[in-house]
Amino acid sequence: MPPARHRRPRAVRSLLAGVSALAVGLGGLALAGGTGAHAADTDLIVNGGFETGNLSGWTCSSGTAQSTSAHSGTYALRSAPGGSDTGECTQSVPVKPSSAYTLSSWVQGSYVYLGARGTGGTDPSTWTPGGTGWTQLSTSFTTGPNTTSVTVYLHGWYGQPAFAADDVSLLGPGGPQPSPSPTVTATATATASPSPTATATDTGGPTPTGTSTPTKPPGLPKHILTGYWQNFDNGATVQRISDVPAAYDIIAVSFADATATRGGLSFTLDPALSSRLGGYTDAQFKADIAAKRAAGKRVVLSVGGQNGTVWVGDSASAANFTDTAWALMRGYGFDGIDIDLENGISSTSMGQALHALAARAGSGFVLTMAPQTIDMQSTGMEYFKLALNVKDILTIVNMQYYNSGAMNGCDGNVYSQGTENFLTALACIQLKGGLRPDQVGLGVPASTSAAGGGYLAAGTVNNALDCLASGTNCGSYKPDTTWPGIGGAMTWSTNWDAKAGNPVANTIGSHLHAMP
């Protein structure tokens, strides 16, 4: 496996590619260390084909068993999302602890999700951006040692057309059978509510640990500019840490390398980069970090990138992550960790690792995150659940508002990347989903060369910050409230920013630091 420093991070990815990576990443994460479902396993879903002609076995916020279109047999589920409802249908299924399961369904429609909650491990989720025909969704998971039931769910997305589902299947060993329950069609609570008139409720994630009062490390400004520093040469301007402009309050060194032991981290200055810089040594690198810290800046080590392979999915790997991350923090002088894993994540295990790391580091610990847009569309998704789980130690989430295509905004409408509306409408989901305003930042590419799509001029980013903070300079979408404490902005990367003449540092950085 090539070391992380040779990766080409944030490569061009279409929305479909991002969805595939998410599905494969979550499925692979859940299955690691376990075995797949076997042919002898039984299908545990009740009325998975809806051939009873009703929703027996299912609890749906809105839905019917219809015979107009079916993948097989006569009937299929039809459910219509609303402006504040995803049209979710769920079924509680008895399972056995520490066992492998495969979940699948045929679906028809746009933004149809399939997943399971309460698995005791990494809750799987997969979805399709849509099409006119039937598409099969499939994912896998392994139950935790104390798990005896899971909740299987299907849902669409806010304000989208009705969707259909058929032939839902959960293969694996069955658990103790509960008493039969009647069909229920009452309104169910959605996983998230990005309606601009109500605060979203996290019903699928763990309760945030510890205090939710502001915990920003001392010395950082009210509005933070974060920049990724590349530990490799990919055509952008090569830099020493000392070359990063002073406008950057947090510098994320990208990336840590995965070791042969699950959860383990290592870091090595890229020899090719060192050579390009005239012999940049470890000692000079550490001295530059110390100088930035003395100037009031923070330097963190980023874990992940597009091809990141760090796996934290159980207690052992969580402990290894904590131990190796702490050793690197002490060895290089890093202030904390940035989580940029783009191929699946466990909110429970990674949350355990990060809380243990924060306990060792103390009050100066800096924790940043850079999820993809798809990872923060709902509080039921693992990345969002992780952010809420570590809210008490979280500095800022700088979601990547690029390389994603069109996505749903806070009001349920679809917005295209590369627009001010995309920034404000998607930031609103996080702001109403449970994160503090100071924990929400706008992650943008520094230039058209830095990402495959989603670039915005620095002035447009400033307008989005003003819109969120004060309701001024908004595009056609304007949130129904303001967040004067909005966290800030991030860019990939300081190197691409330098190549473009530092518009992020000079324009966005100056604007952030002048905001009240």
DSSP sequence for 256-309: PEE-SSTT-EE----HHHHHHTTS--HHHHHHHHHHHHHTT-EEEEEEEETT--
Active site residue 342: yes
Measured between alpha carbons, how far is 188 from 181 in angstroms, rounded to an integer?
16
Under 8 Å between Cβ of 237 and 499: yes
- CA angle 126/164/141 to nearest 5° reads 25
Tell whether omega for the bond before 493 is within 30 degrees of 0, i.e. cis.
Answer: yes
Give yes or no for a contact between 164 and 447, defined as CB atoms under 8 angstroms apart. no
Residue type, 475: G
Amino acid at 424: T
Residue 511 vs residues 461, 495, 506: alpha-carbon distances, Å: 10, 20, 8
Residue 226 three-state SS: strand
Residue type, 40: A
Tokens encoding 233: 């040469």
Report strand pairing: 125-128 vs 64-66: unpaired
| φ and ψ of 439, to 5 deg | -100, 5
Dist CA 51 CA 67 (whole Å): 9
DSSP characters for 79-130?
E--BTTB---EEEEEEB-TT-EEEEEEEEESSSEEEEEE--SS---EEEE--
Edge to edge, what strands does the sheet with 89-94 contain? 59-60, 89-94, 149-155, 112-117, 125-128
SS3 319: helix
Instruction: Give me the catalytic one of 88, 342, 382, 420.
Output: 342
CB 189 within 8 A of CB 155: no
Token pair belonging to 103: 């979940």
Which residues are CB-contacts of 25 (< 8 A; sequence separation ≥ 6)? 342, 343, 344
CA distances from 310 to 6, 177, 191, 341, 349 (A): 15, 38, 28, 8, 12
| Both tokens assigned to 428 | 């609103």
- Active-site positions read 342
